[in-house]
Amino acid sequence: MAAVALFHHVLGLTPGVIAFADDLRRAGHIVHTPGLFEGRTFGGMEEGMAYVQEVSFGTVIERGTRAAADLPAGLVYAGFSIGVLSAQKLAQTRSGARGALLYYACVPLTEFGDAWPDGVPVQVHGMDADPFFAGEGDLDFARQVVESAGQGELFLYPGDQHYFADPTLPSYDPDAAALLLSRTPAFLDAVS
């Protein structure tokens, strides 16, 4: 059994994110779902990004850091899209990290340090034609993170959707989501 801090995407802590956390709980893991938006949720990416720009990316990341401070050490840090910022920062900088699961996004290693920490495995998941993940450089950053980690895996799924594992959104891809949902508990079992 692993303990996970799962950070939501730019739509907020939506029913889809909660459903994903519940799937991991049913697989026997402890999953914390801190909110980064002070309880707000948004109906679309543009609305959510407008909120993030209003409060700043730094504020959103700091909220994730503060939320993790109240949780025990020895966590796997996971994040969807903008939640990856908090997850990756904590995996790279908080002592005792057990692993990182980065969904739909990845940032350069240098954003939070010089290298990936020794002994912290990572998985990155994204679609190969997602205009955000593949088109804005995250895929290249994911390759760097995975290579630096030593214990890293990059999983590319065919398609162009960003939130492909969220069953409550039109972007949902059941085949890709099923694969992601099989790989994630396997990763968590391995780091337990």
Q: Tell me the average pLDDT of the chain.
A: 96
> Which structure tokens are listed for 34?
């801190």
With H, G, I as helix, E, B as strand and everything else as coil, classify residue 144: helix
- The strand pair at 3-7 and 30-32 is best described as parallel
CA atoms of 4 and 25, how far apart (whole Å): 10
pLDDT tier at 141, thresholds 50, 70, 90: very high
Query: What pLDDT score does 73 carry?
Result: 87
> Which structure tokens are listed for 68?
């993790």
Q: Are 5 and 75 in contact (CB under 8 A)?
A: yes
CATH number at residue 184: 3.40.50.1820
Q: What pTM does this model have?
A: 0.97
Partners of 32 in the beta sheet? 5
Domain that holds residue 18: 3-191
Q: Average pLDDT of 155-182?
A: 97
Query: 86: Cβ–Cβ under 8 A, 6 or more apart, which residues?
Result: 7, 36, 60, 61, 63, 64, 65, 67, 68, 77, 79
Q: Give how many domains the chain has, as a whole number.
A: 1
pLDDT tier at 63, thresholds 50, 70, 90: very high
With H, G, I as helix, E, B as strand and everything else as coil, classify residue 95: coil
Give the containing element (helix H, strand E) for 179: helix 174-191
